[in-house]
Structure 1
Amino acid sequence: MTDPSCPPAHVAILDDEPEIRRMLALALEDAGFRTSSFGRATEFEAALKRTAPDVCLVDLGLPDRDGLALVHRLALESGAAIIIISGRAQVQDRVTGLELGADDYIIKPFEPAEVVARVRARLRKSRTDSDRPARTARFNGWTAHFDRYLLQSQSGEEVPVSHAEAEMLRLFLEAPKRLISRAQMQEQLGGGAGETFDRAMDVRISRLRTKLGEDPKNPRLIKTIYGAGYIFLGDVTWG
């Protein structure tokens, strides 16, 4: 049931197939969401300059733009949750989409009810994050600005992080010096399962290490505990 005190969440749909756009818009609007639909990336990007959707549903097979490149740009520049909808079912395609910043990946053909459920799940996660009072964390010479998706070094250098990378980093910073298992990551972060999820998490952690200037052979902050998960060894201050 939609809360009358809150405006309906806005879902942007980008797919070059009119039938899929209509099907998704109808299912989402019946579920209480507001939607906007686009058949080309240029139209979608122009609309983003005027409005900020809560969730973006993005097809990878676009006629005028590389879908994965668009997903990566959205992940770095927008605060929206990103769900890929694609006919590409290979594990590597799903891993690539997730590690470039997508929050979830749905394979065509799909049931509209599944998409609605995934959108609701991402919005619940986003609202949980926004309810947390602390939006900035300091650790080992770095400051993480979760409201701006930025890491800032002691020298003032700013390093952008994607929505997915920020979720991963927050998970570590909220539980420093404690083992984070794969099962906990799956529960907290979602975005697939099995081999796809494991490989996407590995790549996401690798990217975080690179952005934090870690030695990939001997990382100081994010340690791999083989067969168990990961542990963050820094001292964290929230404020």
Structure 2
Amino acid sequence: MTTAPLVTILDDEPAIRTMLADALEEAGFRTMSFGRATEFEAALKTAAPDVCLVDLSLPDRDGLTLVHRLALEQGATVIIISGRAQVQDRVTGLELGADDYIIKPFDPAEVVARIRARLRRDKAVQQAGNTAYFNGWTAHFDSYVLENATGEQTPFSHAEGEVLRLFLERPKRLISRAMMQETLGGAAGESFDRAMDVRISRLRTKLREDPKNPRLIKTIYGAGYIFLGDVSWA
């Protein structure tokens, strides 16, 4: 019997935690709820959530700092749920590694739908292969690590991994902004475009690309991006 996906809920408002837990459990998910970041981080020592729902306004920790650490270390899908509706807040959250950003107030059914969509993409990714080889690099998508020819490792976030996989699955083909939005999900607009720019910039840095003349991830101005490496999968 397959174990239901585990969703953790970190929000300091009890009513929101209850509303989300009820909706998710009715939809077939397992849940764990926390009102403080310290409780949540302690639980992560023994729990392995598939999705983390994180509010930014926490009583004991900066939510954005926590999101960034989760994205790099936990390997789970991270979705921010926040009352901060400004474009810059959404951009910052996505830049720091969140996979999605939902603004309060929200419909619990929308949260369930977005979680299901994310998990469907993750499942398709897992079935497609977890290791890619290209130009002296190895991308380990099961452990979210880039490894160079000498064995030196550099971690990448779940969100950065989605972008990298998109390039590696379509080498030497133009990838437009519209394709990125359709494949990766999230609302199209300024916050999505800026978040993608930051993720691509970070991937270039981790791949030790010359920012003025990148060899692997090329920008085609006005059209999108193209990955120029030769890729094999295992």
TM-score band (shorter)? over 0.9
TM-score (norm 2): 0.98
Q: 1:97 aligns with which of 84, 93, 106?
A: 93
Across the two proteins, how many residue pairs are aligned to each other? 234
Q: How high is the sequence identity, in percent, across the aligned residues?
A: 78
In 1: Cα distance, 2:211 partner to 2:186 partner: 25
Q: 1:151 aligns with which of 146, 149, 156?
A: 146
Runs of 4+ in 1 over 3 A off after TM superposition: none
3-state secondary structure, aligned to 2:19: helix
1:109 aligns to 2:105 (yes or no): yes
1:22 aligns to 2:18 (yes or no): yes
Residue deviations 1:167-215, cap 9 Å, x none? 1101101111100011110111113311111111011100100111111
Report the residue type matching 1:163 in the other structure. Answer: H
Aligned twin of 2:132:
137
Whether contact under 8 Å (1:144, 1:150) holds in the other structure is yes
In 2: Cα distance, 1:90 partner to 1:226 partner: 27
Displacement of 1:235 in angstroms is 1.1
1:48 aligns to 2:41 (yes or no): no
Aligned twin of 2:213:
218
Report the residue type matching 1:11 in the other structure. Answer: V
Whether contact under 8 Å (1:98, 1:191) holds in the other structure is no
Alignment of 1:172-191 (within 5 A): 172-191=167-186
Residue deviations 1:39-89, cap 9 Å, x none? 000100110111101110000111111111111111111121110000111
In 2: Cα distance, 1:71 partner to 1:124 partner: 22
Alignment of 1:78-93 (within 5 A): 78-93=74-89
Aligned twin of 2:224:
229
